[in-house]
Amino acid sequence: MTATSRERILAATRANHFEENPLPTVPSFDGDNTVERFTEVLQGIGGQIVHVPAGKKLAEMVQQLFPTAGHLASPLLPATISIDEQTPTAVLDTVDVAVLGGEFGVAENACIWLPEANMLHRALPLITQHLVLVLSQQNIVATMHQAYARVQDVGGYGMFIAGPSKTADIEQSLVIGAHGARSLTVLLTA
């Protein structure tokens, strides 16, 4: 019996074993990890940064920023809607503002590392109308090389988020809030 093309390809794949090579050592690049650089890049990609004065409550700041918000989801503030990993997306779709804690930010591209443990639900940062990430200015690194060095064990899931959702695919015009959060506000704490 003659083997089919599929069987020949699978047999060749199984027979072809490569030696495992260790990952190369990637040098650490220095860079600018200042709040000013992070702010400049974040604003350039459509995000907003708000410095939280010492003693100011996050809940008050969020209320001032989003006075007409209906449903607020957050593990950091009193929420108006309860969200967990089992919440259906139809309920998540009603969230106006999600306030989540970012682990660290990267100055070169203004992205913020958000592990699953800080999300309430994997879809929440992407489906909310307005995303607010709380970040300590002490937790800003200069480059993605330094960021990846800090992400040792991501657990089940995590993501880097940079700015609000945007696309320039349609007629090469930049559209903010095209397929995710319409705005990203970073509350920067001391």
Residue 21 lies in a domain: no
Q: Does residue 56 form part of some domain?
A: yes
Q: Is the pLDDT of residue 26 over 70?
A: no
Quick one: pLDDT band at residue 19, thresholds 50, 70, 90?
confident
Residues in the chain: 190
- Taking only the tens place, the pLDDT of each residue in 35-45 is 999 999 999 98
For 159-190, the pLDDT digits (tens) are: 999 988 777 777 777 777 677 789 999 999 98
- Could you tell me the residue range of the domain that residue 154 belongs to? 31-189
Q: What is the pLDDT of residues 118-146, one digit of tens each?
A: 999 999 999 999 999 999 999 999 999 89
| Dist CA 16 CA 4 (whole Å) | 18
Residue 3 located in a structural domain: no
Q: Is residue 76 included in any domain, yes or no?
A: yes
Percentage of residues of the chain with pLDDT beyond 90:
62
- How many domains is the chain built from? 1
Per DSSP (E only), the strands in the chain are 48-51, 71-73, 95-101, 104-106, 111-115, 130-136, 140-141, 158-161, 166-167, 175-176, 183-189
Parallel/antiparallel/unpaired status of strands 130-136 and 183-189: parallel
- pLDDT attached to residue 55: 86
Quick check: is 131 in a domain?
yes
**pLDDT of 154 strictly over 80:** no
Cβ count near 153 (within 10 Å): 6
Q: What's the pLDDT at 47?
A: 93
CATH value at residue 96: 3.40.50.10420
